[in-house]
Amino acid sequence: MKQKSRIRVIWCILFVVYLAVLIYLLLFAKLMGREQIGRTYSYNLELFKEIKRFLNNTGTLGIRSVLLNLVGNVIGFMPLGFLLPLAFSRVRGIIFMTLISFTTTLVIETCQLVSCTGSFDVDDLLLNTIGGILGYLIYILLEKGITAWKER
């Protein structure tokens, strides 16, 4: 097996592990507040509603909850945008990555709603999609930097 093929396999494995951890954390992990949701349907269809609520109630909710929700949603999806083009070389382009990030989030949010393991939140759609895009931009910057370094 060629060196590039081995590296691609490693990236694919890392991507699959990332997806497994992401799905576990978002659908099953008790540390993410799953035991508090109960068996009711919960959703937010108003953009920025939960973001504003978290920012306006930082004192009441605590900084941990605010960071976990706002920053965690962005950071949690950055590996998607970074690892996907490394694992699958044909997956490129900011528009494509935006669609992949949005669709992945939509599927997860819908699963949370249907299974009553979380809430369907349009703010999560926005934050997670931003995370996927940022991860892809980091990938692009690193790729350009490595290419420039190799050309020296």
Is the per-residue pLDDT at 121 higher than 90? yes
Contact call for residues 42 and 113 (beta carbons, < 8 A): yes
Whole-structure pTM value = 0.88
Contact call for residues 58 and 71 (beta carbons, < 8 A): no
Q: What is the percent of the chain where pLDDT is above 90?
A: 70
Contact call for residues 80 and 135 (beta carbons, < 8 A): yes
Q: Name the range with the highest mean pLDDT among 35-39, 101-105, 141-145.
A: 101-105
Distance, CA of 119 to CA of 63 (rounded, Å) = 20
Start-to-end CA distance of the chain, whole Å, equals 28
Q: What is the DSSP letter of 46?
A: S
Distance, CA of 32 to CA of 64 (rounded, Å) = 12
Q: What is the DSSP letter of 37?
A: H
Domain count, the chain: 1
Mean pLDDT, rounded, for 30-50: 73
Provide the pLDDT for residue 29: 76
Mean pLDDT, rounded, for 66-87: 95
Contact call for residues 111 and 29 (beta carbons, < 8 A): no
Mean pLDDT, rounded, for 17-43: 76
Is the per-residue pLDDT at 125 higher than 80? yes
Mean pLDDT, rounded, for 88-104: 93
